[in-house]
Amino acid sequence: MKNGGEIKSSEITPEATYLNRRNFLRAGLLAGTTLATAGVYRFINEPPPPLVENAPIENIASIVENKTNFAAGEEITSFKDITNYNNYYEFSTSKSGVAAKAKDFVTRPWTIQIGGLVQKPQTFGIEDILKFPQEERIYRFRCVEAWSMVIPWVGFSLKTLLDKVQPLGTAKYVAFQTLYDAKQMQSSLFAGIDLPYVEGLRLDEALHPLTILATGLYGKLLPNQNGAPVRLVVPWKYGFKSIKSIVKITLTDTEPPTTWNIANPPEYGFYSNVNPNVRHPRWSQATENRIGEYARRKTLMFNGYADEVASLYDGMDLKKNF
Ligand SMILES: Nc1nc2c(c(=O)[nH]1)N[C@H]1C(S)=C(S)[C@@H](COP(=O)(O)O)O[C@H]1N2
Ligand SMILES: [Mo]
């Protein structure tokens, strides 16, 4: 807990770099509007200022274009809890230990390679990712361990990115992979899971507008412990589907392997939809501990997003496909 949310002044981006970069990002957004002028284009063609190492926790509230609360009436979990109670096994299996262990994780430069069954395989730099129109999305977040939070993410629909690479008609699934760097992270042996961490979604789940790539939270760039520089968030599924620090996305025609299913197939399926009616073999999923609250809450079907996503699973037996 000690090191957690505190940022030493030496780690904060120098003001000049910060302003230049923010203007650069703004200019990128402006270029997509009718306000774009030759002057703006000249400005964005300049190389971006050098990015600082060690995960700058920069304020990006100014580039957030739209805010939507998908957990209306529920209290937003504190920044301190969101950034000090984490699951990120590559760094630590102790939830309060991740923040300190991930403190110096290097997230610049960073690229995401997108390929497989797509028309236009492409590699995006994190600078490109931050130029997509960013939104604030307040979502409930439910871990399979039966705790939950309400998190104000910054990000954009994964669909925006997938549309750029144009999935082929044969693509049925999307596979995701986290960076694995043994020099910065602990081994598979200590983590207790195969690394790199991998996850997957059916293509229609990946294209659903609620599925986002998150670049930040609380109006700041993502802290390392939350999956910097870019992670998936699928709010109707257990937290482990929301894979962190993504370096690779592959469109496939077969169901991709997923880390927790590999680790323990009877306990963790591919779908992992939040479902109060399907017990985890070792505990009930009917209620949850909302971090920061005393009384347990009833867990909602699809984590409260049934109206939006239930139709994706029409005709499927959700007790078998857990
Ligand atoms: N690469 C990677 N991604 C991961 C994990 C992990 O250990 N490694 N843990 C998952 C689990 S179990 C949860 S609950 C969430 C936690 O996200 P948070 O720490 O931002 O709350 O990240 C998910 N994504
Ligand atoms: Mo989790």
Specify the residue with its C-alpha closest to ligand 1, atom 12: 240
Judge whether 59 and 220 are in contact, CB under 8 Å: yes
User: Please, which residues bridge with residue 220 across strands?
Assistant: 59, 217
Whether 173 contacts 202, CB under 8 Å? yes
Nearest-atom number in ligand 1 for the CA of 143 is 14
Residues 197-211, buried b or exposed e (16+ Cβ, 10 A)? bbbbbbbebbbbebb
Q: HSE of 81 in the Cβ direction (CA atoms, 13 Å)?
A: 15
Q: What is the pLDDT of residue 101?
A: 96
How far are the Cα atoms of 41, 220, 293 from residue 32, in angstroms, in the given order? 10, 23, 43
pLDDT at 26 over 80: no
Which has more pLDDT, 17 or 121?
A: 121
**pLDDT for the residue 19:** 32
Higher pLDDT, 233 or 38: 233
Q: Are strands 212-217 and 220-221 parallel, antiparallel or unpaired?
A: antiparallel
How far away, in angstroms, is 26 Cα from ligand 1 center? 30
Cβ proximity of 260 and 268 under 8 Å: yes
Mutate which of 197, 240, 249, 285 for ligand 1 pocket (most atoms within 8 A of beta carbon): 240
Mean pLDDT over 206-221 rounds to 98
The closest-lying atom of ligand 1 relative to the alpha carbon of residue 82 is 21
Query: CA 7 to CA 221: how far, in whole Å?
Result: 13
Q: Are 246 and 254 in contact (CB under 8 A)?
A: no
Segment 117-123 mean pLDDT: 98
Cα 48 to the chain's mean position, in Å? 24
Query: Quick one: pLDDT at residue 12?
Result: 34
Residue 4's pLDDT is: 37
Look at residue 1 in the predicted model and tell me its pLDDT.
Answer: 33
- Phi, psi of 152, deg, nearest 5: -85, 85
**Atom 15, ligand 1: residue with shortest CA distance:** 239
**What is d(CA 173, CA 167) in angstroms, rounded to the nearest whole number?**
10
For residue 10, pLDDT over 60 is answered with no
Ligand 1 cavity residues, CB under 6 Å: 86-90, 143, 178, 197, 226-227, 239-240, 242-245
The single-letter DSSP state of residue 202 is E
Predicted pLDDT at 5:
39
3-state secondary structure of 114: strand
* Closest ligand to the CA of 291: 1
Whose CA is closest to 91, among 83, 81, 101?
A: 101
pLDDT at 57: 79
For residue 38, what pLDDT band results from cuts at 50, 70 and 90?
Answer: very low
- How do beta strands 198-202 and 173-178 pair? antiparallel
Asked whether residue 195 carries a pLDDT value surpassing 60, the answer given is: yes
CB atoms inside a 10 Å sphere around CB 298 = 8
Report the sign of the C-alpha dihedral through residues 302, 306, 309, 315, in that order: positive
Task: Give the position, in ligand 1's atom list, of the atom nearest the Cα of 85.
Answer: 19
Angstrom distance (rounded) from CA 132 to CA 28: 9
Average pLDDT over every residue of 169-174 = 98
Judge whether 211 and 159 are in contact, CB under 8 Å.
yes
Q: Can you give the pLDDT at residue 56?
A: 54
pLDDT digits (tens, 9 = 90+) for 266-308: 999 999 999 999 999 999 999 999 999 999 999 999 999 999 9
State the distance from the centre of ligand 2 to the C-alpha of 146, rounded, in angstroms: 8
Q: Average pLDDT in the 159-165 region? A: 98
Closest residue by CA, ligand 1 atom 19: 86
How far apart CA 237 and CA 251 sit, in angstroms, is: 20
Query: What is the structure's pLDDT at 54?
Result: 44
pLDDT reading at 33 higher than 50: no
pTM: 0.85
Residue from 77, 81, 88, 95 whose mutation best tests the ligand 1 pocket (most atoms within 8 A of CB): 88
Average pLDDT, the chain: 87
Torsion angles phi and psi, residue 250, rounded to 5: -130, 125
Q: How confident is the model at residue 189 (pLDDT cuts 50, 70, 90)?
A: very high
Q: Which of 52, 62, 54 is nearest to 28 (CA)?
A: 62
Comparing CA positions, the residue from 131, 125, 127, 141 lying closest to residue 71 is 141
CA of 91 to the centre of ligand 2 (A): 15
What count of other Cβ atoms lies within 10 Å of the Cβ of residue 315? 4
Asked if residue 9 has pLDDT above 70, the reply is: no
